[in-house]
Amino acid sequence: MLRAIIPLGAAIALSSGSAAAAKSPQSYSWGKPGSSRERFDSGSRECMLKAARRDVAGDDEAKKYVRGFEVLERENNMPAVGNDTIFDKSERQVMLRRMYRPDQHVDALQAQLQDEVNGCLVRSGYIRFALTRDQERILKRLRPGSEERKTYLYTLGSDARIVEAQKVAD
Protein backbone atom coordinates (compact mmCIF):
# COMPACT_ATOMS: atom_id res chain seq x y z
CA MET A 1 0.00 0.00 0.00
CA LEU A 2 2.82 2.41 0.92
CA ARG A 3 4.54 1.86 -2.45
CA ALA A 4 1.37 2.83 -4.30
CA ILE A 5 0.74 5.97 -2.24
CA ILE A 6 4.21 7.52 -2.35
CA PRO A 7 4.73 7.60 -6.16
CA LEU A 8 1.19 8.89 -6.61
CA GLY A 9 1.84 11.62 -4.05
CA ALA A 10 5.09 12.58 -5.76
CA ALA A 11 3.41 12.70 -9.16
CA ILE A 12 0.60 14.88 -7.84
CA ALA A 13 3.06 17.12 -6.05
CA LEU A 14 5.14 17.69 -9.13
CA SER A 15 2.33 17.97 -11.62
CA SER A 16 0.48 20.53 -9.53
CA GLY A 17 3.40 22.86 -8.99
CA SER A 18 1.53 25.50 -10.93
CA ALA A 19 -1.35 25.19 -8.45
CA ALA A 20 0.88 26.58 -5.70
CA ALA A 21 1.83 29.48 -7.96
CA ALA A 22 -1.84 30.13 -8.80
CA LYS A 23 -2.55 30.84 -5.12
CA SER A 24 0.03 33.63 -5.02
CA PRO A 25 -0.68 37.05 -6.50
CA GLN A 26 2.48 36.86 -8.65
CA SER A 27 3.21 34.14 -11.21
CA TYR A 28 6.72 33.02 -12.04
CA SER A 29 8.55 31.03 -14.65
CA TRP A 30 12.10 29.88 -15.27
CA GLY A 31 14.40 31.00 -18.02
CA LYS A 32 17.75 30.11 -19.52
CA PRO A 33 18.62 32.86 -21.99
CA GLY A 34 20.30 31.78 -25.20
CA SER A 35 19.43 28.13 -24.66
CA SER A 36 18.14 25.99 -27.51
CA ARG A 37 14.60 24.65 -27.16
CA GLU A 38 15.93 21.11 -26.79
CA ARG A 39 18.38 22.05 -24.01
CA PHE A 40 15.79 24.24 -22.32
CA ASP A 41 13.23 21.43 -22.20
CA SER A 42 15.63 18.60 -21.37
CA GLY A 43 17.30 20.50 -18.53
CA SER A 44 14.06 21.37 -16.80
CA ARG A 45 12.66 17.87 -17.41
CA GLU A 46 15.79 16.37 -15.87
CA CYS A 47 15.30 18.41 -12.69
CA MET A 48 11.65 17.43 -12.46
CA LEU A 49 12.38 13.75 -13.00
CA LYS A 50 15.13 13.77 -10.39
CA ALA A 51 12.61 14.83 -7.76
CA ALA A 52 9.82 12.63 -9.14
CA ARG A 53 11.98 9.51 -9.00
CA ARG A 54 13.27 10.14 -5.50
CA ASP A 55 12.01 7.65 -2.95
CA VAL A 56 10.20 9.76 -0.35
CA ALA A 57 9.06 6.81 1.77
CA GLY A 58 11.64 7.68 4.44
CA ASP A 59 10.76 11.38 4.61
CA ASP A 60 9.03 12.52 7.80
CA GLU A 61 6.14 14.17 5.95
CA ALA A 62 5.49 11.02 3.91
CA LYS A 63 5.57 8.86 7.04
CA LYS A 64 3.16 11.20 8.82
CA TYR A 65 0.84 11.19 5.82
CA VAL A 66 0.85 7.38 5.59
CA ARG A 67 0.22 7.06 9.32
CA GLY A 68 -2.76 9.43 9.13
CA PHE A 69 -4.06 7.72 6.00
CA GLU A 70 -3.89 4.31 7.67
CA VAL A 71 -5.71 5.53 10.79
CA LEU A 72 -8.45 7.18 8.74
CA GLU A 73 -8.76 4.13 6.48
CA ARG A 74 -9.07 1.85 9.51
CA GLU A 75 -11.78 4.11 10.96
CA ASN A 76 -13.67 4.14 7.66
CA ASN A 77 -13.71 0.34 7.57
CA MET A 78 -14.77 -0.19 11.18
CA PRO A 79 -18.31 -1.47 11.66
CA ALA A 80 -20.60 0.48 13.94
CA VAL A 81 -19.98 -0.29 17.60
CA GLY A 82 -22.83 -0.46 20.09
CA ASN A 83 -25.12 2.53 19.79
CA ASP A 84 -22.82 4.44 17.39
CA THR A 85 -24.73 6.55 14.92
CA ILE A 86 -23.46 7.80 11.60
CA PHE A 87 -23.04 11.16 13.31
CA ASP A 88 -20.76 9.59 15.97
CA LYS A 89 -18.62 7.96 13.30
CA SER A 90 -18.46 11.17 11.31
CA GLU A 91 -17.46 13.11 14.42
CA ARG A 92 -14.58 10.64 15.05
CA GLN A 93 -13.42 11.01 11.45
CA VAL A 94 -13.34 14.79 11.76
CA MET A 95 -11.40 14.52 15.01
CA LEU A 96 -8.90 12.09 13.46
CA ARG A 97 -8.46 14.34 10.41
CA ARG A 98 -7.68 17.24 12.70
CA MET A 99 -5.23 15.14 14.70
CA TYR A 100 -3.34 13.62 11.76
CA ARG A 101 -3.84 16.37 9.13
CA PRO A 102 -2.92 14.27 6.10
CA ASP A 103 -3.62 17.14 3.70
CA GLN A 104 -1.01 19.33 5.41
CA HIS A 105 1.59 16.58 5.13
CA VAL A 106 0.89 16.24 1.40
CA ASP A 107 1.26 20.02 1.03
CA ALA A 108 4.54 19.96 2.98
CA LEU A 109 5.87 17.08 0.88
CA GLN A 110 4.84 18.90 -2.30
CA ALA A 111 6.66 22.05 -1.15
CA GLN A 112 9.76 20.00 -0.29
CA LEU A 113 9.80 18.37 -3.73
CA GLN A 114 9.19 21.73 -5.44
CA ASP A 115 12.14 23.20 -3.51
CA GLU A 116 14.31 20.34 -4.78
CA VAL A 117 13.23 21.04 -8.36
CA ASN A 118 13.86 24.78 -7.89
CA GLY A 119 17.34 24.13 -6.46
CA CYS A 120 18.19 21.84 -9.37
CA LEU A 121 17.04 24.47 -11.86
CA VAL A 122 19.22 27.13 -10.22
CA ARG A 123 22.24 24.79 -10.20
CA SER A 124 21.56 24.06 -13.88
CA GLY A 125 21.71 27.75 -14.78
CA TYR A 126 18.00 28.57 -14.94
CA ILE A 127 16.83 31.94 -13.62
CA ARG A 128 13.47 32.53 -11.97
CA PHE A 129 11.56 35.51 -13.31
CA ALA A 130 8.20 37.11 -12.62
CA LEU A 131 5.57 37.17 -15.32
CA THR A 132 3.94 40.47 -16.17
CA ARG A 133 0.15 40.66 -16.07
CA ASP A 134 -0.01 40.54 -19.86
CA GLN A 135 2.27 37.48 -19.98
CA GLU A 136 0.22 35.82 -17.25
CA ARG A 137 -3.03 36.58 -19.10
CA ILE A 138 -1.69 34.99 -22.30
CA LEU A 139 -0.39 31.98 -20.36
CA LYS A 140 -3.79 31.41 -18.73
CA ARG A 141 -5.36 31.11 -22.18
CA LEU A 142 -2.99 28.30 -23.14
CA ARG A 143 -3.88 24.79 -22.04
CA PRO A 144 -1.40 23.34 -19.48
CA GLY A 145 0.90 20.82 -21.16
CA SER A 146 0.06 22.03 -24.67
CA GLU A 147 2.79 22.61 -27.23
CA GLU A 148 1.63 26.22 -27.59
CA ARG A 149 2.12 26.83 -23.87
CA LYS A 150 5.55 25.20 -23.87
CA THR A 151 6.58 27.30 -26.89
CA TYR A 152 5.32 30.47 -25.22
CA LEU A 153 7.22 29.75 -22.01
CA TYR A 154 10.36 28.90 -23.98
CA THR A 155 10.05 32.15 -25.95
CA LEU A 156 9.89 34.13 -22.70
CA GLY A 157 12.54 32.10 -20.86
CA SER A 158 15.11 32.14 -23.65
CA ASP A 159 14.93 35.92 -24.16
CA ALA A 160 17.78 37.48 -22.16
CA ARG A 161 16.07 40.91 -22.07
CA ILE A 162 12.87 39.51 -20.55
CA VAL A 163 14.63 37.29 -18.01
CA GLU A 164 17.05 40.01 -16.90
CA ALA A 165 14.34 42.70 -16.62
CA GLN A 166 11.95 40.43 -14.70
CA LYS A 167 14.48 38.39 -12.69
CA VAL A 168 13.48 37.54 -9.12
CA ALA A 169 16.06 37.76 -6.35
CA ASP A 170 15.54 34.74 -4.09
pLDDT value at 118 more than 90? yes
In this prediction, residue 23 carries a pLDDT of 52
- Each domain of the chain, given as residue ranges in start order, spans 2-166
In this prediction, residue 62 carries a pLDDT of 85
Q: What is the pLDDT of residues 27-85, one digit of tens each?
A: 999 999 999 999 999 999 999 999 999 998 888 888 888 888 888 888 877 777 778 88
Amino acid at 78: M
Q: How far apart are CA 62 and CA 10, in angstroms?
A: 10
Q: How far apart are the first and last CA of the chain?
A: 38
Q: How far apart are CA 139 and CA 143, in angstroms?
A: 8
pTM above 0.85, yes or no: no
pLDDT value at 22 more than 60? no
Q: What is the pLDDT of residues 119-149, one digit of tens each?
A: 999 999 999 999 999 999 999 999 999 999 9
In this prediction, residue 24 carries a pLDDT of 53
User: Which range, of 10-14, 22-26, 115-119, averages the lowest pLDDT?
Assistant: 10-14
Read off the pLDDT of each residue in 12-30 and give the average, rounded to a whole number: 59
Q: How far apart are CA 117 and CA 52, in angstroms?
A: 9
pLDDT band at 97 (very low <50, low <70, confident <90, very high): confident
In this prediction, residue 35 carries a pLDDT of 92
Q: What are phi and psi of 31, to 5 degrees?
A: -130, 160
In this prediction, residue 25 carries a pLDDT of 64
Q: Which residue has the higher pLDDT, 126 or 99?
A: 126
Q: How far apart are CA 97 and CA 72, in angstroms?
A: 7
3-state DSSP assignment of residue 31: strand
